[in-house]
Amino acid sequence: MSEARVMHVITGTALGGAEMMLLRYLRALGDARAGHVVVSMMPPGALAAQIAALGVPVRTLDVAGAAGLPAGVMRLARLIREHDPQVLHGWMYHGCLVGTLAVLAARRGDIGLLWGMHHSLADPRREKRMTRVVFAALRRLAGRADVITYCSRVARDQHRAQGLSGARDRLIPNAIDCDEFRPDPGARARLAALAGIPPGRLIVGSVGRNHPMKDHAAFARCIAALVRRGLDVHGVVIGEGQPGGPAARQAAAEGIADRLAAIGPRQDIPALVPGFDLYVLSSAWGESMPLAVAEAVASGVPAVVTDVGDSRWLVGEAGAICPPRDSAAMAEAAAGILSLSPSERAELGRRGRDRMIALMSMPHYVDLHETAYRDALIRRAAPSQQGAVA
């Protein structure tokens, strides 16, 4: 299976958790990625060039909104005929749906079909209408998938509870390169220079795009509460849409605009994250297996996380858990860690890094996907499946 022809269908190639996992997975494949191709539903994003630099072709369907989905399906069907994949790997809801419909349109009943779920589903009512429609379609089409993978335990349980069949699902947790994300004594100086942070100030950071589910306003309220406690802290949020975003606006409203730096997306995250004294995930909902938390913990940074997705499992004993939408509890947990001595925080960080090395290695991630592809093809070749997607 190491030389299998695999077509990855993903919503886009902008900076995001699932998108980064695809890039890192392809990078970790080494020479075996020669048989892979990536198809983005949306026009090329920031990661498209990095994927192409690996020698993996990147094709786009140029889908713009729901109205463009039917044409996108037919374009993908033509690409399936052109590239002749053995396995189609859908990433996220839209990639899974469009990939499945294109396999049907191409009349390719021999292609193994894998759905990769990277979204939690605590309350479908919070999702956008289009997301609810796509999920409803996936629920009806679930029998077409040969393997369904989830990046977190919580997401798997939530989808099962919402009626997505669990007969052929399995857990493949997200993974990180612990050689890329590791403690770095020079990171603090780089981060302080970038964010304009005075020497000696404790740095509380978070990495993620501006999205309502991330609740970055709560992050800013947490920083304000820490300042009111007399802690000399500086908040840093890094990600798309952060300059002038909710965290920055809330910081201004709290009177701590000079204590929070809102920075746009960066390509040098591994060189910055180890400079945090504490990582805070403020998400209110929607997380499955938040990669940014794993990256921080692997970098030796203790973490305070809201109890969403698999955040609790990720942090283990290397940090603290608080309820979503509770900035007071978040500040209380953060103050507890920041009040530790530097050596005590370092020990907490070391335990967290050891945990990431043991649980989230890239080689294990690659092996699990190779097994999933093999199983999808075995099921597709079984006599009972002949004509199932013809």
State residue 228's pLDDT score: 98
Alpha-carbon distance 83 to 287, whole Å? 33
Residues 8-37, mean pLDDT to the nearest whole number: 93
70 and 196 both lie in a single domain:
no
244 and 163 both lie in a single domain:
no
Residue 237 within a domain: yes
Which pTM was predicted?
0.76
Residues 84-89, mean pLDDT to the nearest whole number: 98
245-304 pLDDT, tens per residue?
999 999 999 999 999 999 999 989 999 999 999 999 999 988 888 989 999 999 999 999
136 and 217 both lie in a single domain:
no
- Domains in the chain: how many in total? 2
Give the Cβ contact number of residue 201 at 10 Å: 15
136 and 197 both lie in a single domain:
no
Lowest mean pLDDT among 104-113, 171-180, 209-218: 171-180
State residue 121's pLDDT score: 82
State residue 383's pLDDT score: 58
Closest-CA residue to 56 (of 76, 79, 31, 73): 31
235 and 365 both lie in a single domain:
no
Distance of alpha carbon 136 from the chain centroid: 22
Residue 390 within a domain: no
State residue 385's pLDDT score: 52
Q: What is the residue type of 14?
A: A
Highest mean pLDDT among 64-68, 334-338, 385-389: 334-338
Strand order in the sheet with 112-117: 58-60, 36-40, 6-10, 87-91, 112-117, 147-150, 169-171
* 152 φ/ψ angles, rounded to the nearest 5 degrees: -150, 155
State residue 389's pLDDT score: 45
Alpha-carbon distance 173 to 383, whole Å? 31
Q: Dig out the tokens for 313 from the structure.
A: 């499992």
Distance of alpha carbon 78 from the chain centroid: 29
Domain holding 192, by residue range, is 187-359
168-208 pLDDT, tens per residue?
899 998 899 999 999 999 999 999 999 999 999 999 999 99
Contacts of 102 (CB under 8 A, 6+ apart): 9, 73, 74, 76, 77, 79, 80, 88
Residue 285 within a domain: yes
pLDDT band at 386 (very low <50, low <70, confident <90, very high): very low
Cβ atoms of residues 118 and 151 within 8 Å = yes
149 and 289 both lie in a single domain:
no
Cβ atoms of residues 81 and 5 within 8 Å = no
Closest-CA residue to 29 (of 59, 64, 3): 3
115 and 149 both lie in a single domain:
yes
Residue 72 within a domain: yes
pLDDT above 90: residue 164:
no
Pairing type for strands 6-10 and 169-171 reads unpaired
Q: What is the residue type of 363?
A: P
Alpha-carbon distance 120 to 124, whole Å? 9
112 and 201 both lie in a single domain:
no
Q: Where does residue 200 rank: exposed (0-12), middle (13-18), buried (19+ CB within 10 A)?
A: exposed
pLDDT above 60: residue 387:
no
121-140 pLDDT, tens per residue?
877 777 888 889 999 999 99
96 and 152 both lie in a single domain:
yes
87-102 pLDDT, tens per residue?
999 999 999 999 999 9
- Please state, for a pLDDT cut of 70, what percent of the chain lies above it: 97
Alpha-carbon distance 304 to 17, whole Å? 19
Q: Dig out the tokens for 279 from the structure.
A: 């990582």
Alpha-carbon distance 255 to 233, whole Å? 14
Residues 210-223, mean pLDDT to the nearest whole number: 97
Distance of alpha carbon 257 from the chain centroid: 29
Q: Which residues pair with 60 in a beta bridge?
A: 40
The region, left, alpha or beta by phi > 0 then psi within -120 to 50, assigned to residue 148 is beta
State residue 390's pLDDT score: 40
Closest-CA residue to 91 (of 126, 143, 138): 138
49 and 95 both lie in a single domain:
yes
Residues 309-329, mean pLDDT to the nearest whole number: 94
Q: Can you give the three-state secondary structure of 336-359, one letter per residue?
A: HHHCCCHHHHHHHHHHHHHHHHHH
66 and 55 both lie in a single domain:
yes
pLDDT band at 312 (very low <50, low <70, confident <90, very high): very high
Residue 180 within a domain: no
CATH of the domain at 23: 3.40.50.2000
Residues 357-376, mean pLDDT to the nearest whole number: 92
143 and 235 both lie in a single domain:
no
Pairing type for strands 303-306 and 319-322 reads parallel
Name the average pLDDT for the chain.
Answer: 93
Q: Which DSSP string do the residues of 184-201 spell out, in sequence order?
A: -TTHHHHHHHHHTPPTT-
Alpha helices in 255-326 (DSSP H): 269-272, 291-298, 311-315
